[in-house]
Amino acid sequence: MSSAPRTGTAIQDLDTPALLVDGPAMMGNIERMAAFFRGRPAQLRPHFKNHKCTQIARRQLAAGSAVGMTVAKLAEAEVLAGAGIDDVLIANQVVGDRKLERLAYLARRIHLRLAVDHIDQAVALSRAVSAAGATVGVLIEIDIGMGRCGLPPGEPVVALAGRLADLPGVRFDGLQAYEGHLVSVADPEDRRVRVIEAFREALDTRALLERSGLPVRVISGGSTSTYAITGVIEGVDEIQAGTYATMDCVYQRLMPEFGLALSVIARVISRPRPGVAVLDVGVKGVGHEFGPPQVKGCPGARVPSFMSEEHCIIHDAPGWRVGDAVELVPSHACTTCNLYRQIHVHDGGRIVDLWPIEGSGGLT
């Protein structure tokens, strides 16, 4: 028996918990970001990891100003290729023989790039793609302050880029630099100054590479909360903004020009004490590693930092009754979308479509 809602169903009548996206709010966000990049030297490469939904990806590309999509995982690139999207950057290192076999096959179908930061990755990549008769572009990832993957800026990057030239099937295309340690800086001016300073290392490395006779086609990086900074830095070519399409309550505080489109609808299952309500969703339905969700339309209600697996306790709850539907706005859209297999698109509180989230779950 199908539980898929009919078009026109009120969101309050959905089985809960369910993932929602406000269609007009989402499209407004997509159009706003596309408009910013229209006519600028830097271009947009939206990050699929935000929503993992090809219907949203198609709309991001159709809005213009985008050169392709960014993904975090090989499987996400395969999902996009299956949907007919043929320009993808894997903003990550891909390691392991089986993954590299899949990557080589994919590189024969689409324009594919990925990040490297070690010669061993590049040698294994070359072996796989050259055996398949394919070519991939690589971006050397440099660490501009996040302390995750990436080579130190400067000479180590030049040394690796020089060695890539000898590897069949591998084309050195440029640099990846992600300022992830700065995306949540609250003060806008402080964020701007620190982001510009961080990217100076990437730009200096680009200049060093080009003086060494190694042309840099692209520097790719950036995020939703820094797009207006990185998007105007001369020499930064692609911005990997992701969360702007759906938004979440953390990013929306940083970038209020984008609307909150994503929510999870849940239901009150208990009113155990005055002022306390319990909902039928917990950490298995709401990503909350950046903090608890917010109750939509009810600023006085509080969600504690601890949530159970399948329960969310609301303090200072209004006069909800058992069975009432309540919308939560997650603190982290990306991990919330990854918990669901479909997203309910609504307009004015009524369902207009149901889209699969093809990249969700434990895909590798």
Torsion of the alpha carbons at 337, 342, 343 and 349, rounded to the nearest 10: -140
In this predicted structure, what is the pLDDT of residue 192? Answer: 98
User: Which numeric CATH code is attached to 11-20+257-356?
Assistant: 2.40.37.20
Q: Note the maximum CA span of the chain.
A: 71
Contact of 179 with 146, CB cutoff 8 Å: yes
Measured CA distances, 11 to 146, 290, 324, 352 (Å): 40, 26, 11, 10
Q: Where are the domains of the chain?
A: 11-20+257-356, 24-245
In this predicted structure, what is the pLDDT of residue 4? Answer: 82
Q: How far is residue 330's CA from residue 12's CA, in Å, rounded to a whole number?
A: 18
The residue among 17, 6, 10, 238 whose CA lies nearest residue 115 is: 238
User: Does the reported pTM lie above 0.75?
Assistant: yes
In this predicted structure, what is the pLDDT of residue 2? Answer: 52
Measured CA distances, 247 to 28, 63, 116, 181 (Å): 12, 17, 29, 19
Q: Which residues contact 66 (CB under 8 A, 6 or more apart)?
A: 34, 37, 43, 44, 45, 46, 60
pLDDT in tens, the chain (364 residues): 456 889 999 999 999 999 999 999 999 999 999 999 999 999 999 999 999 999 999 999 999 999 999 999 999 999 999 999 999 999 999 999 999 999 999 999 999 999 999 999 999 999 999 999 999 999 999 999 999 999 999 999 999 999 999 999 999 999 999 999 999 999 999 999 999 999 999 999 999 999 999 999 999 999 999 999 999 999 999 999 999 999 999 999 999 999 999 999 999 999 999 999 999 999 999 999 999 999 999 999 999 989 999 999 999 999 999 999 999 999 999 999 999 999 999 999 999 999 999 999 988 9
In this predicted structure, what is the pLDDT of residue 1? Answer: 46
User: Which CATH fold would you assign to the domain 24-245?
Assistant: TIM Barrel (3.20.20)
In this predicted structure, what is the pLDDT of residue 193? Answer: 98
Q: Answer yes or no: same fold for 11-20+257-356 and 24-245.
A: no
In this predicted structure, what is the pLDDT of residue 336? Answer: 98
